[in-house]
Chains A and B, each alone.
Chain A
Amino acid sequence: MGLAVISMIVVLTSCAKKPQAEIDAANAAIEAARTAEAAAYLPVEFAALQDSLNAVMTAITAKDSKLFKNFNAEAARLAEITTLANTVAANVAARKEEVKTEVSGLLTSIKTVIAENAVLIPKLPRGKEGAAVIEQIKADVATVDAAVAEAQSLFDNGSYMDALNKITAAKEKADGLNAEVKEVLTKARIRF
């Protein structure tokens, strides 16, 4: 009789296997979203994904502790998580492309402003070299150049978000500089 009971228990406890394929697929999809920088571009969605996976894993482990196991519901939820993770990764790619386009546009436009400044600054009145205002302008030109180089490097390395912050501030500075130089030239009655 004892043997019969033990046999029954063995049969009952091994009647369902963990949905390992689904677990692996969900993990891989979340890892892909992480690699795509979902934490930086879509942090809320990514956090929700991770929490969902943790919840399913808790449910699976809980069921694994029981005599009678059925992982159908968890397998279905894992499939949903995989789909959602793929969607998040796709959305990250789209958002990244938006930021990339924005940074690229700013880099192009700031380079135009810098090129214009490079033409305008030598037109500043003769004998003005060393004057305080020129020192200020020179300092600003160097700061903008350094910021653009840094932003370009971030952009080339795919750090579009960091590049965006850097280039936005640099663009404002370059535009301000352009307006200042034009004001000095206008006051000095020099055509540009």
Chain B
Amino acid sequence: MRLKKKYIRIIMCAAIVIVVTVAGFVLASLIPDPPVEQVNAARIALSEAVSNDAHTYSKNLYSDAKSLYDSAMTSWQKENLRFIWFRDYSRAAEFAGMSEQKARQAARISRNNMTDLNILVGQKLEKLNHIAGQIDLRFDGYPLSSEVWSRISKGRMLLRESELAYRKGDFAQAKEKVDSSEFLLVDSYEKAIDHLEGYFASFPKWKQWVDRTIRESRQHQSYAVIIDKYSRKCFVYLGGIKKHEYNVELGKNWVGDKRERGDKATPEGMYRVVRKFGIGRTKYHKALLIDYPNETDKAEFRKAVADGTLPATARIGSLIEIHGDGGKGYDWTEGCIALTNEEMDVVYRIAREGMPVTIVGSTVSLDKLDE
């Protein structure tokens, strides 16, 4: 009887242990699984998005992904506070899933944006460097307004800043700078080109003068001088063939024809040497006085005064010469044409009174200037 009671107790204890163990397993299996995998996947996706600079190049998506990740963590931590069997991680998992999706999207878009920006900024830099080169080529020494030069200067500085940012891989800053530079440079270049095109509208007339001068040199087997104001060149022809080519310096307002005395403009037209001044007879080494103003210039001056484009008090200019003392590297004369003394010696030696001196804006048309 006693032994039987002992067996019953042992069996009871074993049964309790089994029941408790089974109950434990059953209860444990009822505990909901936390969203570890989903949150880790979202975290890795966010990290990849950061390494792809999504925080810069896909700001909104990255920001959304980050907020969703924070929401997932908050939701998860909040659920952890509840009694273990009452926890529900579905919202946290959902947030994490959405975060991962947005982060991957942000990384992809960021990569695309970076590639696009790289190409776009690269192209803009190339284009603006070309424009800056064209400004150097066409407008160095060209009398544009101080406002235009200021815009060009600022545009160039921003262009350089953009290049520095671009080289560092900071495409967002490079884009911002290049856009500002583009606004300044393109606008200034267009204004300058408009100005230049307006000036070159006289090219057909200039070409006629040049052709006539060369033809005369050929027919009379004589010397003739052609001054190209735009390229700052003096061409000496003999028998219709170019023999010498020199650099010249002009009046500072060289663009356009001379209109009145003191305007510091170099006249345009077909002239002739009327007098030679050797050493001691001019303050500019040697000089060749030309017949400015000729009858055409006088008629144009009278017309300008009559129609009011020049004041009644205006006086016509005179004493335009080709003279020495040049080679200073800038336009400094009152409207004359300056050569270096050595070159002036050559021109002075070959010049005779009556020698043609044709002064034009350019001997080359605007569309051929690049060549």
Give the interface of A toward B (CB within 8 A): 1, 5, 9, 13, 44, 47, 50-51, 54-55, 57-58, 61-62, 64-67, 125, 127-128, 130-133, 135-136, 138-140, 142-144, 146-147, 165-166, 168-170, 172-173, 183-184, 187-189
Q: Which of B209-217, B220-228, B327-335 contacts A (4 or more CB under 8 A)?
A: B327-335
Do residues A138 and B161 form an inter-chain contact, with CB atoms below 8 A?
no
Bound together, the chains give a CA A148 to CA B76 distance in angstroms of 52
A67 to B27: give the CA distance in the assembly, Å: 11
The 5 residue pairs across chains A and B that have the minimum distance between CB atoms: A187-B329, A65-B34, A139-B149, A139-B153, A169-B160
**Which of A47, A58, A142, A147 is in CB contact (< 8 Å) with B36?**
A58
Cβ contact within 8 Å between B36 and A136: no
Query: Complex Cα distance A184/B140, Å?
Result: 13
Q: How far is the CB of B68 from chain A (nearest CB, A)?
A: 13
Q: Find B161's partner among A44, A66, A165 (CB 8 Å cutoff).
A: A165
Closest chain-A Cβ to B100's Cβ sits at a distance in Å of: 13
B54 to chain A, nearest CB (A): 11
Restricting to B112-162, which residues have a CB under 8 Å from any CB of A? 140-146, 149-150, 152-154, 156-157, 160-161
- Residues from chain A with a CB closer than 8 A to the CB of B76 are 61, 65
Give the distance in Å from the alpha carbon of A13 to the alpha carbon of B31 in the complex. Answer: 13
Closest A residue to B147 by CB, please name it: A139
Contact A61 B77 (CB under 8 A): yes
- Asked whether A168 lies within 8 Å of B330 as measured between CB atoms, the reply is no
Chain A contacts for B330, CB-based, 8 A: 125, 128, 131, 133, 184, 187-188
Residue B350 is within 8 A (CB to CB) of chain A in the complex? no
Say yes or no: B150 contacts A143, CB within 8 Å: yes
Residue A130 contacts which of B24, B154, B252 (CB distance < 8 angstroms)?
A: B252
Query: Within 8 Å CB of B252, what residues of A?
Result: 128, 130-132
B73 within 8 A of A: yes
Q: Quick check: which of B43-51, B291-299, B363-371 contacts chain A, the rest being far away? A: B43-51
CB under 8 Å from chain A, chain B span 315-331: 327-331
Give the chain B neighbours of A165 by CB distance below 8 A: 161, 164-165, 173
| CB proximity of A133 to chain B, nearest CB, Å | 5
Which residues in B have their C-beta under 8 angstroms from that of A173? 156-157, 160
Residues of A within 8 A of B146 (CB): 135, 138-139
- A65-B34, A65-B87 are contacts. A187–B161 as well, Cβ < 8 Å? no
Chain B residues positioned under 8 Å from A169 (CB to CB)? 157, 160-161, 164
Given A64-B77, A165-B164, 15 more A-B residue pairs with CB atoms under 8 Å apart are: A13-B84, A61-B39, A65-B80, A66-B34, A125-B328, A131-B330, A132-B252, A133-B140, A133-B330, A135-B143, A136-B152, A166-B161, A169-B161, A173-B156, A187-B327
Per-residue CB proximity of B66-105 to A under 8 Å, as 1/0?
A: 0001000100110110001001010000000000000000
Cβ of B329 and Cβ of A135 under 8 Å apart?
no
CA distance A130 to B334 in the complex (A): 13
Of the listed residues A5, A66, A132, A136, the one surrounded by the most CB atoms of chain B closer than 10 A to its CB is A132
B201 at the interface (CB under 8 A from A): no
Secondary structure type dominating chain A contacts: helix
Return the contact of A172 from the options B43, B160, B173 (Cβ within 8 A).
Answer: B160
Quote the shortest CB–CB distance from A104 to chain B (angstroms).
18
Chain A: minimal CB distance from B164 (Å): 5
B40 contacts A by Cβ under 8 Å: yes
* Partner among A5, A47, A58 whose Cβ is within 8 Å of the Cβ of B23: A5
Question: In B36-62, which residues have CB < 8 Å from any A CB?
Answer: 36, 39-40, 43, 46-47, 50-51
B20 at the binding interface (Cβ < 8 Å): yes
Nearest CB on A from B85, distance (A): 10
What is the CB-to-nearest-CB distance from B168 to chain A, in angstroms, rounded to a whole number? 8
Bound state CA distance, A131 and B164, in angstroms? 32
CB contacts (< 8 Å) of A183 on chain B: these are: 329
Complex formed: what's the CA distance from A187 to B157 in Å?
27
Complex Cα spacing A157 to B47, Å: 31
Chain B residue with the shortest CB-CB distance to A168: B164
CB distance from B319 to the nearest CB of A (A): 17
Determine if B28 is an interface residue (Cβ-Cβ < 8 Å). Answer: yes
Give the shortest distance, in Å, between B263 (CB) and chain A (any CB).
Answer: 12
CA distance A64 to B152 in the complex (A): 64
- Say whether A136 contacts B149, CB under 8 Å: yes
B69 and chain A: residue at smallest CB distance: A54
Kindly provide the distance from the CB of A150 to the nearest chain B CB, expressed in whole angstroms. 10
Task: Report the minimal beta-carbon distance from A98 to chain B, rounded to whole angstroms.
Answer: 15
| Closest A residue to B159 using CB positions | A169
Contacting pair A138 B149 (CB below 8 A): yes
Please tell me if the beta carbons of B328 and A187 are within 8 angstroms of each other in the complex: yes
